Amino acid sequence: MGKRHDDNARTGRLDRRTLIKGATAAASGSIIAGAVGAQVVSSAQGDGGPMSDRAASIQGGASGIEAMSVADLQAALASGEMTVRQIVQACLDRIAALDKAGPAINAVIELNPDALAIADERDAELAQGNSRGPLHGIPVLIKDNIATADRMQTTAGSLALVGIVPWRDAEVAQLLRTFGAVILGKTNLSEWANIRSFQSTSGWSGRGGQTLNPYALDRNPSGSSSGSAAAVAAGYVPVTIGTETNGSIVSPAGHCGVVGIKPTVGLVSRAGVIPISHTQDTVGPMARSVADAAALLGLLAIQGSEDPAQGGPRIYPAGATPETDAGAFGPAGGEPSAARPSASPDAVTPVASPVSDADSPRYPPKPEGGVQPIDYTAQLDPEGLQGARIGVLRGSAGFSPLADQVFDEAIATMKAAGAEIVDPVEMPSAAEIGSTPDGLELLLWELKADLNSWFATYLDPSSPIRSLADVIAFNDAHPDEEMPYFDQSLFLLAEAKTGLDDPAYIAAAANLQRLGRRDGIDAALDTHGLDAIIAPTNAPAS
């Protein structure tokens, strides 16, 4: 889910300029110079100094791999100035200097043991004049709830899933491989994407520990995509992948001073991502610049997948159970989970090859004719706001004077760029949205159904974890490791829910659609003739 403001990660402060300068010296092995300014969309600082000072600190010490965009790395590869191995090694060196040593940001939960071998394969392909696509040789970190059928874990930060290998890649992971990316590792997160407890801590997981905010180590990184945001902010890689159900991309992006895009549900496939809610979950890019985030989004937004929002099977047809139906994120057409080759020993053991990009049941075959990315960067036009009607949702402001100041500066910038500002606008359903219990109730219903479906679809039948009830039992059996700080109250509430054919669930889902769509965003857009609505995302990191 989203952020928590009561984060208990409290260590010494470290200005990010100092962090970058120190790490550049420590991780300089194969780094080429040439700073590139990062575009920061919101301030990660609390109550000192304006956003421009903090943004300047990002660029102030940046002189190597931590400052290079995807386009910069592509150019260095094309010119022969760098090899993929050099790029990957430089990223690994920087992670070694900052993540577990030095300031110990702890954004990375696991590194890919085959990263350098994959880099060598990418170099060999380039030497033969072959490129897999726009991400060829680009290192990417992905959140630890995105399935990979390689030698890495997929755990959502939970010790309950350690050692249990999904039988195939998530579609997002496969797209990254298809376009040539080097999946460098996985990022830490708020455990189970922050859906385990009312008291959960942003950026903490039983497996990964506490992720810190690279801007100030004693402040909240937010979550649940804490590690993905912190890794980009610390300059480990140019782009990462996060997930969001309710603020889990945009909030940590704001707290860590990077760009995060929360796509419309269904634009990017969720197939293979450990779920919370099939009606709200989405997968999106995080980057240092809008250009990099937009480019990555275009590569991920491939339609025609196994995601039910893109025509794949729906959750639990009437009378079905996890044992008889693959559920929300199963094989296209809703084939029974027994139809997949999970009985094969190869389905639950890492692939023999260190380069895990071959077509096989683990790695879904590439679509006929190849995948066709969408070029969102073509829309990055400095004149693009001319004549656009932008509505300002003032009801979401007022929580932080500093955030409001930055918000007002952004509005002025849009107006100067030619936008027509309509200020204020309100959503007719805003008060009801804030008071209805249906939002949480829907998440609890869908958590149980969707999570059980994912286990049935992506894990071998012999796995010791086959249901939410199994996870609850594991946590009860390992309280010192899994529950030293907070309980599993939300899990217990979800486990008590009935199926998705319950009339109460159906009514809650319909009410939320009405509040958010017809009487919410659509009503505001239509009433004022707007092209878009803007609002502040979150207060500064505390």
For residues 65 and 94, the answer to whether their CB atoms sit within 8 Å is yes
Q: Would the pLDDT of 343 be above 60?
A: no
| Overall pTM surpassing 0.85 (yes/no) | no
Count of residues for the chain?
Answer: 542
Catalytic residue among 57, 248, 342, 453: 248
Top pLDDT among 228 and 359 is at: 228
- Work out the angle between the directed axes of helices 16-26 and 84-95 (0-180°, nearest 10): 130
Q: In what order do the strands lie in the sheet with 532-534?
A: 420-425, 389-393, 532-534
**Closest listed residue to residue 267, CA positions, set 240, 300, 296:** 300
Cα 228 from chain centroid? 6
pLDDT-based confidence at residue 134 (cuts at 50, 70, 90): very high
Q: Would the pLDDT of 25 be above 90?
A: no
- pLDDT at site 304: 65
Q: In the annotation, is 143 catalytic?
A: yes
- pLDDT at site 2: 65
Average pLDDT value for residue range 261-268: 96
- The DSSP secondary structure of 137-164, one letter per residue, reads T-EEEEETTB---SSS---TT-GGGTT-
- pLDDT at site 540: 86
CA distances from 126 to 95, 176, 240, 471 (A): 26, 17, 23, 44
For residues 135 and 240, the answer to whether their CB atoms sit within 8 Å is no
In which residue are the tokens 């380069």 written? 355
- The DSSP secondary structure of 170-210, one letter per residue, reads -HHHHHHHHTT-EEEEEE--SHHHHTS-TT--TTEETTTEE
Catalytic residue among 143, 186, 262, 448: 143
- pLDDT at site 56: 33
pLDDT-based confidence at residue 305 (cuts at 50, 70, 90): confident
Q: How do beta strands 239-244 and 139-143 pair?
A: parallel
Cα–Cα distance, 353 to 41 (Å, whole number): 40
pLDDT-based confidence at residue 539 (cuts at 50, 70, 90): confident
- Three-class secondary structure of residue 371 per DSSP: coil
Q: Would the pLDDT of 346 be above 70?
A: no
- Three-class secondary structure of residue 61 per DSSP: coil
- pLDDT at site 313: 57
- pLDDT at site 325: 31
Cα–Cα distance, 212 to 218 (Å, whole number): 7
For the chain, the domains span 16-309
Average pLDDT value for residue range 485-491: 99
Cα–Cα distance, 91 to 78 (Å, whole number): 19
Judged on CB neighbours under 10 Å (0-12, 13-18, 19+), 325 is buried
Top pLDDT among 76 and 348 is at: 76
Q: In the annotation, is 43 catalytic?
A: no
The CATH architecture assigned to 16-309 reads Alpha-Beta Complex (3.90)
- pLDDT at site 64: 87
Average pLDDT value for residue range 4-26: 40
Q: In the annotation, is 248 catalytic?
A: yes
Catalytic residue among 30, 69, 224, 337: 224
Give the other-Cβ count within 10 Å of 439's Cβ. 17
Average pLDDT value for residue range 169-173: 96
**Closest listed residue to residue 126, CA positions, set 141, 138, 144:** 138
In which residue are the tokens 């339609």 written? 303
